[in-house]
Structure 1
């Protein structure tokens, strides 16, 4: 890789952040895959799996806005560390129950819900931290490196989880995830950042939320994309993530096949991350939403066949597509949203994008049992494609350019009092 591609790593703070993310991502991805099969070992019902997944998603939705305010007020590294410690302890508790054979579905629902509260604080803080550590002229490279790291973890961790689940059981993979959460929190200790700007006495959490909401609703490209992803994430979590593992278990794919599909998707993400370490992404949302349309290919394929080589190829293509969106979205947010309210605006983004995920997780289980797993996965994939393309009907999405280019007209308006 060229020196320009690796420029963000010259800052020691970014290096510690990067190392913390390595540990966190590998453990978290491995733990999430293992949790699915731990639940299926307790109950083979897709509805039980949907309930546990929703137990994580619902607290995330409820507490996201508060998490964004806390990150902007008290510092993003502190919020990340506290949330990692909480998540680590809950994962270790789940692992103990699973390994000892004492786990029941209500145990997993309760502990996963606590983990979801921690994730609600962690997400906006993490999203707002990266641009504090990367130079403005290396922002795309910093995001691409972060994406490359995440995507390499997505290649390795599901395969490792599959080996552990088959070899020693899901509980041990979840236990490792608990330890990685704690280690990731420790690795952030060397990062020293200026404290957040002091607030006036009258600045309440409610006022912070109102300021963030005002910016959100007055920025057309922002709310259009978030509205679309409210539906897209419900379709993905319900159609692919909830129905995919039971389909794999009852077909010739098996646990190993499902892990290969996830890893192939991650390889597509990796390849795209490497490309965009060098190639500028000038219209981040136009190409991003086209990438989402490409991502629907892997869901449609799973709804059409159980031939492993077809699903692996479709997952690679889909992974490449969704990575373009991920990079484009981060650049649009980090360049167009004021730094002092970035975590708050990210929390509105995440709230809108995640709010329907529990609906998808809870609804697709019964729908899959009633109409067939594969048929409902196909319906989800076709709907995903249609929504992705419809989003491009908004000119503010199509025309948004990078901040260093001559800006075209968007409906972004400054917010008084921010």
Structure 2
């Protein structure tokens, strides 16, 4: 694609990145076949190719309108198009640049801006979010259905395994997951402990930065990323921790791309690259462990299935951030089969469930349609339960599913604990 970027952007790091991405696009349209919003709306401007044209026009100095902003807002950033694209277009990086520029040029309605600011503040301020979630759980039974769906039901919680081992990994401290479903982090620590690996949570770390960054507060998001790098780097660089293990794929893809966000920062480029290089999804990490360790886990899991303490037939929903962002499609599925789970067939497993971070709040109609489509496909194989790898997907689906929805680590830890 030929480009003629405007003088105000072309020589900046963002402009150079955007130009390189735009020039890779050959307008083939393969991306439209796998774009969730295009499948629903049928509008070229609500497809990756259409949005690329819009961003190109903006960066070339053409008029920017509220409609441009709306078309970019409707993108889930699921990055299905990146998996589909034969030219290797890094669409996710491009839309981050495009949205930021458009928001600088187009004022949002006051109500919409208030909602975005409220989400950004609430979700990344633990004192506020933890208090609100605790109150919601206390009165969950009487909440309106729309709010109740955002408050996860109580579930088995094994407690954090704090045993000391010579092998150590870092777990993300995070923002919303510890308050919404604390059993996910605890379950992860129980599984790692069974493999004689200690889980470390560094108190100086926090939110991965994705919420603020994807709501166009790039400075705020990058400040959180820097705090994490400062907290984790000494342990990773010294070898005290062998990896940064992620059990939320949305956070995982963000941390794996820290190197991109700081590639032009001389103080953080090398540190960010090491952190990104040491980041692994929990499923990916477990598959790299010794065969006998996984066999032992499998035996315990299968025994729990026989005793009907955990489900055997499950439908697995691979989050977009896992299969498209981190390009780990099939990795967790392969591990689950090794552990003894029977995976039911799921049509359109490549499509987004509609959660997409804050998308379900900011674009509720499109999100709801995608959720129902996803649930129909997940339940078609008549599973006993639904599993996933990301807190956003889990809570989004759980609110409307008629079977248990869990992170798969919760069931493995339950088998180990029982």
Q: TM-score range by the shorter chain?
A: under 0.3
| TM-score, length-scaled by structure 1 | 0.27
User: Greater RCO between the two (CA within 8 Å, min separation 6)?
Assistant: 1
| TM-score, length-scaled by structure 2 | 0.27
Q: Which has the higher helix share?
A: 1
Q: Which has the higher strand share?
A: 2
